[in-house]
Every structure is written in C-alpha cells, then in structure tokens.
Structure 1
Amino acid sequence: MLNSVIVVDDEASIRAAVEQWLSLSGFNVQLFERAEECLAQLPAHFTGVVISDVRMPGMSGLQLLDRLQQADPDLPVILLTGHGDVPMAVEAMRNGAYDFLEKPFTPQHLMGSLRRALEKRQLVLENRRLHEQADLKAQLESTLLGMSQGLQQLRRQVLELASLPVNVLIRGETGSGKERVARCLHDFGPRADKPFVALNCAAIPETLFEAELFGHESGAFTGAQGKRIGKLEYANGGTVFLDEIESMPLAQQAKLLRVIQEQKLERLGANQSIAVDLRIIAATKPDLLEEARAGRFREDLAYRLNVAELRLAPLRERREDIPLLFEHFARTAAERLGRHCPSVSGGRLAQLLAHDWPGNVRELANAAERHALGLDSPNLESLPGGQSLGEQMEAFEAQCLRAALRQHKGEIKGVMEALQLPRRTLNEKMQRHGLVREDFLGNE
C-alpha cells in the first residue's frame, strides 16, 4: 500500500497536527511551508498524495494544483479551505482536485479522504505499470524477432533482467545476436539514458588492453600524450558489453574483478581511484567455468559475471523462426536499397529451412540481403541439412499456418478456406505448433 503524503500549509500548527495524525497512522509525511518549496523538491515520480492549503503567501494552493496537474494529471490533490473558500474549492474539484476539507477538520475526515485518494493512486499507478509493460513487450517483440518457444522465453527473461541491477552473461554461437540482446537489456532498463559501451575483447591487442579499459594519465607510458578516459569510466552510470570475454588477458581479468567488487578504477599512471557505477554484460561462446578449470579464465570473475545467464539458441535449433527473420531482413534490405523485395518461393523456403546456418542470424541476414538484390546463392540447397524430411515438413507446415493466420488477422474461417482444412484439423495443427489465434488479431 502506498503511504507517502506531502502536506503544504503556511500555518505551523496545522502542519504539526497533520503530521502527528498521519505519522501515528503509519504514513510517510513530508512537510512544506510554501508551495514553491514543494514544487522544487517534489520527486520526479511521486507515488503518493498532496494535501495543500488554498490560501498561502506567494503561490496559492490552486496555482500549485495547476502546476501539479501539468506534471501528472492523475496525482490526487486534497485542498484545505477556510469557510469562505468552499465555492472556490468546489470549482477546483471540477478542475481536477481530488477532494477538499473545510477547516477545522477532524482526523477521521482527513484519514478517510486520504485513504480513498491513495487507493485511487494505487490503481492508477498499477494501470500505468501494466500499460508500460505491454508497450515494452511490443517493442521487444519487434527487436528480438521470432515465434519459437525459445525466443518467447528469451524475451521474457530479457524483460525481467533489464530492470534488475545484476551482471549478465550471454552464451551463444557466433552470429546468434549476443550484442543485440545486450543492447535490449540496456535499452529496456533504468540505465537506458546512460552510455552503452560495447567492446570486443578479442579485437584489442593485449598491450593496449589496460589503457583501452581503464584509460591513462599523460606520460603513463611511452606515447601516452594527454589524459585519456577509458571505456569503463566513459560508461559510468550505464552498461559495458564485453563480447568474447574469454579472450580477455588474465592480468586484466584481475583488474576487472576489482572494478566489479569495489565499483572503483584507476587510470594508468594515476594514484587516485575513480568511483564508477557500471552494469557489466559479458558474452562468450565457451563455458567460462570450463575455461577456468583449464587455467584460461579466473573462476572468481566467472562467478561475478554470471549472476544471471542467458543462452541464445543457434538458428538450427529454432528453424520455425527462419521464414520470419528472412522476410524481415529481406524487406529491410530492399527498403534501404530502394528496391522491390521479391517473394520467397516454396522451394527457396525449403532450402532455407534445410540449411544448418553455422553463421546463425548474421548469415541469414546476409542471405536475405542477397535475396533482396536478386542474387540468391545457388549453393544453399547443396549444403547439408540438419533435419530429417519429416522435421523440415513440420517447420514448413508451421510457417504456412503462421502466414495464413497473419494474412487473415487470426480469423479462423478465412484460414480454413485458404488452406482448405476442416476446423478440427486446423485446431490440432495450431495446437501442435503452439499457435494461438489471439496473437494474430489485428496484425497485418
């Protein structure tokens, strides 16, 4: 239950009495003598109720109400009025005030009005939260594309972890989309307006690694001209994405561990520590604990990085996502190049589903761009498939069902006619492939 209350009144006796009543009832009370002070110190996302006198020196309670409504139209404001101010307070309620209490008022009247206002506030905030979650879910679905159960689970995990202040380890093969997932963890969390710094540990020469991560002071080493801010310091308040973390030199692993533990770093050639607030997201292909057992990675750092782990399935393990991804990449490439995107034939789709995609999503995106240019590779169908004929037919059937549902916006009768299937057979196939008509309602 929400319990934050702001009281604004220029009479010290009123403030003291209201504070005593509310504090004894378990409310968290903040007092202000003037409306200007309240506005200056009001939290950006205040979740409680404001109680304000109407007549005060400087800004009046009605002016305060107007300013508060501009910031948050749903913030409940209870006005305290003298006898002559009642008509004015009634008019204020028409303009958005939650309630008014005529002085002198009893603790019971104040408590009753306040509890009702807080209950309304709680409902409004919960409704907002649900709308925000739905918006985030829709945005994430358009960023991490796929209908497979693995992708749906990944999106749920990303939404859960994005708001949590924990380090995350992402495991996946080359081209599986590790950086995109890391970016989503940043963009859908509270650090979204702070820097996102991506670093490929395998691409930095070992001799430059420390300077790149931690920065340096002027003259720290030969050629160090001027002070340089390192990547970790630059990312202060935001997120650092360390791709191929298994390639980080052992000496730098020890220093990174210290930064994670102490939230402090030192530039090369400096004696002063710099406080940093960082979230570390690391990505790796091999198991870091196996790397640690082989002496190639620090075990203590592996545990620090792997507070939460996300595993990205290779494309060959989620073939039902291939048609959707291919269509998206091909359409995006065609729009960028100003070309008409050619349709995908059934034979071509069968080739896409049969291919193993060792380069994963990155390889698929390249194939889709060639398709948009009319340069489909004839070698694709000769590449060995990783599925049996039955598995390929299942994947193709799922795509046909999904395309028909999307075309008819979830309208079952239209899907039955398009695919020439009886209702019972269609229901069985949809259930087997995990398709729900509600997911396609209103979709183009």
Structure 2
Amino acid sequence: MFDGLKILLVDDDPAVRRAVAQTLELAGLAVDVFTTAEEALPHIAVGFRGIVLSDVRLPGMDGVQLLRRVQAVDAAIPVVLITAHGDIAMAVHAMRGGAYDFVEKPFTPERIVEAATRALEKRALSLEVSRLREQVADRRGIDSTLLGPSSVMEALRRQVRSLAATSADVMLIGETGTGKELVARCLHEHSPRRARHFVALNCGGLPDTLVESELFGHEAGAFTSAARRRVGKIEHAHGGTLLLDEIESMPMAVQVKLLRVLQERRLERLGSNEQVPVDVRVVAAAKSDLKAEAELRRFRPDLYYRLNVAVLHLPPLRERREDIPLLFEHFSMQAAARHGREPGPTPAALLQRLAAHDWPGNVRELRNVAERHVLGLGGDVLGLETARPAASLAQQINQIEKALIEQALRQHRGRASAACEALGVSRTAFYEKMARLGITIDGFRLSPSDTPPGHPSP
C-alpha cells in the first residue's frame, strides 16, 4: 500500500506491542517494533520514510519527549501517540505541540489502522512534495553551478542529483582546482540536510596536534590550553554534511578514530568518556588515488573501504576543453559584477590561447585568468609572454586531436580498438593520427591485439 514507507512502533508492553504490530501487518503495513524510545531514535533521520506510533507511558524517555526529539530531527515526520484515558489532556497538549494524532486505549483494530494509514498518507504526500521541489531546485541549482556542456560534466551532474537525495557518504577524487568543494556543497544544498550545517575542514591545513581536537572537540581541561568545552567539526555538522578535504593528509592515529565514528555514528570528545550520537554525511575529498595510497600503507585500507561507497571522479580541465568558453564567459561576468565593470567581448586570439593551454591549476586557474582579463591585464592573462603568437587554426586542431586521443587511450587503459570506437574513427585513421601527432604507445599499456601495424608488441 505504501511502498518504502514504514511504521516505527514503540511500546514497552509485549502483549500490546505484538497485537498492534500484527494488526498493522495484516493491513499490509510495514512495521518495526521497539521497546523504548531510546532504541527507536537512531532509526529516525532527516527524510525518514515513515511515521512514529508510540505509547505515551514508556520507561526512560516518554512518548511526548520522543515527539520533541523527532520534531528536532525532521518536523515533517508524523507522530501518533497511544494514550490511556488519564493521558488524554497530555495528548491534546502534545497535538498542539505538533503530534499528528492520538489513539485512546482501549482501541479497536480499525481505529489504529485508520490513524496509521492517515499518517502514512500525510508522510507520503510530504515526501512527494519535497521530491518535486528538489527536482525543480536541481534544474536551477546544479545545472547552473556545475557548468559545462561536455559529456563528463553531464554525467557528473546526473551522479550528483542521484546521490544528493541520499545520506550515503561520498568520496571525491580530483586534482587541485577541479571544484571538489563546489560538488560537496551541491550534494548538501540539494539534499534533505540543506537546513543544517555544511562544515568544511581541510585536513592538510592543520598541524597534526590540532586535527583531533578540530574533528572531535574537547572538554575543559583535556589539555593545557583547553580552557572550556569545544564542539568539534563532526558534532557541529550533526544533521548536515561534513567535508573532509585533503583527507589523504590526515594522520594515521586520527584515521583510526574517524573510522570508529563512521561505523558507530558516535564520538567522544577529548577528555570525555561520554559518547555523543552524531548523524552526519561525510564527503571525503582527495587529490590522489586513495586506493593506491591504501595499498602503499600511506592511508588506512579499512578507512578507505569504509568511505568507498560512492566515488565521484572530477575531470581536470584539460580533459574537458569544450567547457572552457562557457566557463570563461561565466567567470568573466562574475568578475565584472564584482569589480563594477562591463564584461567586454572575448577576443578570438584569447579563446585560441585558452583552448591550447594545459591548465595545471584547472578551473581555479581559469577563474583567475578571467578576472585578470576583466581587469584589463591584456595578453598576459595566462601568465605567458605577451609577445608569444597565438597558435594557428591547424595547430589548435592538432592540439585538440592529440588531447582527445590521449584521453581516450587513458580512459580505455590503452585498448586502441575501444578508443577508436569511442572516437568514431577507423583504426587506420587512428594510427595515422597517432603517428602524425607524435603519440607513442608507451605508458598506455596496449594489448598485443591492439598494436598498430608495423609496431612491435609492447
């Protein structure tokens, strides 16, 4: 009836719990049962697909306190309270405070099913409205943030849209300047967590002695300079998203503690024995291949495999040259608005130089070039000699062809037949272009069957 939606039933009376669960299941509803509110709470997160059905009288945290905790996580989750006759006044007060409904004991099976069904209908409607809003926001936001008409950028936007609605941890791999923090912010801002904090921490920008305190926080007196309690980045990101940039530089000792937090979703501040529950999505960003780092024992393999849930590879700018004109115009308009200038036309000679440049600094470098252009720094915007002549059209075509062929060979691990198919050229033409452009087979690991005629097998 309600695919993917479930009821969290909380009641400490075994007989009542069993009877209510059976009644709901016979009505075709999915039910998870719990004895206490404390047991149920870890299963409730932002965007939870279901409702809570709880007795008011519970050991420890009662039903009204559970209601408040659920509302703090996601106010759109309906909570139905089960009350004894003497608790009706309390239930009415709770409804004024946000409870969806209450069911008075003793109740008929029809009454409990009717209350649960209406609450599930409300939850299904609110989730659908949220989904539609996110789709509309995605079309405006992600497409206008992760710019570029290239196929690799279109694929990246699809992946970000797909992952944003989930709570899965994400790993971003890309060179410096490819926009890893921008992608992390897109994942956060187009997710159900967007109302909570987005917290970014550069692991390579902190001394080893401070990383642990920054991540986990500390109690007063935990070390010499700890004058008062400090909430760490993970705890501050509760309910939201934590970006760990340059995670490959995190000290090994801290990696062990981070792994435990990711597994248990609980942390201990330095100097404390109290465990603090945390609900956080972790986005780990790295410049290097973390799998290779793990194999070389420069990064903990167990942490790598814990983070290796969803991996997004951000392409360097030299591998998506068709995006350069659009990005340059976008950055030029931003710079013109920032400096109060009119964005002038981009000379053809400058576009030629942009297309031919290798972009070691990637998108970040292109943004700086656009700003220098708007500031009127002339032909030196690329930081090259102003007297250097622009490449001819034939030279530009050769440079682009060479970049595309090398990219295809890298993507297909040196398999020339697959690279030919991807580029839509015959093998004869492909090998002729390789020879003309000075592309060698060294380093691409071609298989013997892919070796061009007249070349020895590698």
TM-score when scaled to structure 2?
A: 0.60
Residues 352 and 396 in structure 2, CA contact (< 8 A), matched pair in contact too: no
CA distance in 1, matches of 2:27, 2:217: 54
Residues 342 and 371 in structure 1, CA contact (< 8 A), matched pair in contact too: no
Give the counterpart of 1:143 among 145, 149, 154.
145
Check 1:195–1:123 CA distance in 2 against 1; reply closer, same or farther (3 A cut).
closer
CA distance in 1, matches of 2:183, 2:124: 33
Matched with 1:198 is 200
How does 1:64-83 map onto structure 2 within 5 Å? none
**What secondary structure does 1:295 align onto?**
coil
Matched with 2:174 is 172
Per-residue deviation, 1:383:
10
- Residue by residue over 1:97-133, the C-alpha shift from the partner in whole angstroms, topping out at 9 and shown as x without a partner, is xxxxxxxxxx9xxx9xxx9xx99x9999868845641
Matched with 2:219 is 217
Matched with 1:286 is 288
**What secondary structure does 1:157 align onto?**
helix
**What secondary structure does 1:339 align onto?**
coil
Check 1:384–1:267 CA distance in 2 against 1; reply closer, same or farther (3 A cut).
farther
Matched with 2:160 is 158
Matched with 1:268 is 270
Check 1:325–1:300 CA distance in 2 against 1; reply closer, same or farther (3 A cut).
same
Check 1:376–1:176 CA distance in 2 against 1; reply closer, same or farther (3 A cut).
farther
Matched with 2:397 is 390
Matched with 1:424 is none
Residues 237 and 276 in structure 1, CA contact (< 8 A), matched pair in contact too: yes
Per-residue deviation, 1:376:
3.4
How does 1:222-371 map onto structure 2 within 5 Å? 222-371=224-373
Q: Which has the larger radius of gyration?
A: 1
CA distance in 2, matches of 1:132, 1:205: 39
Residues 265 and 278 in structure 2, CA contact (< 8 A), matched pair in contact too: yes
CA distance in 2, matches of 1:132, 1:287: 32
Per-residue deviation, 1:379:
6.7
Matched with 2:47 is none
- Residue by residue over 1:173-212, the C-alpha shift from the partner in whole angstroms, topping out at 9 and shown as x without a partner, is 0000000001111111111111111011110000111111
Per-residue deviation, 1:136:
1.4
Check 1:22–1:263 CA distance in 2 against 1; reply closer, same or farther (3 A cut).
closer
- Residue by residue over 1:263-284, the C-alpha shift from the partner in whole angstroms, topping out at 9 and shown as x without a partner, is 1111111111111111110011
Per-residue deviation, 1:135:
3.4
5+ long unaligned stretches in structure 1: 5-20, 31-39, 48-106, 396-431, 433-444
Check 1:339–1:310 CA distance in 2 against 1; reply closer, same or farther (3 A cut).
same
CA distance in 1, matches of 2:29, 2:150: 48
CA distance in 2, matches of 1:179, 1:44: 29
CA distance in 1, matches of 2:322, 2:236: 40
Matched with 2:188 is 186
Per-residue deviation, 1:247:
0.2
Residues 134 and 190 in structure 2, CA contact (< 8 A), matched pair in contact too: no
TM-score when scaled to structure 1?
A: 0.62
- Residue by residue over 1:41-97, the C-alpha shift from the partner in whole angstroms, topping out at 9 and shown as x without a partner, is 9996589xxxxxxxxxxxxxxxxxxxxxxxxxxxxxxxxxxxxxxxxxxxxxxxxxx
Task: Letter of the 2:397 partner, please give it.
Answer: G
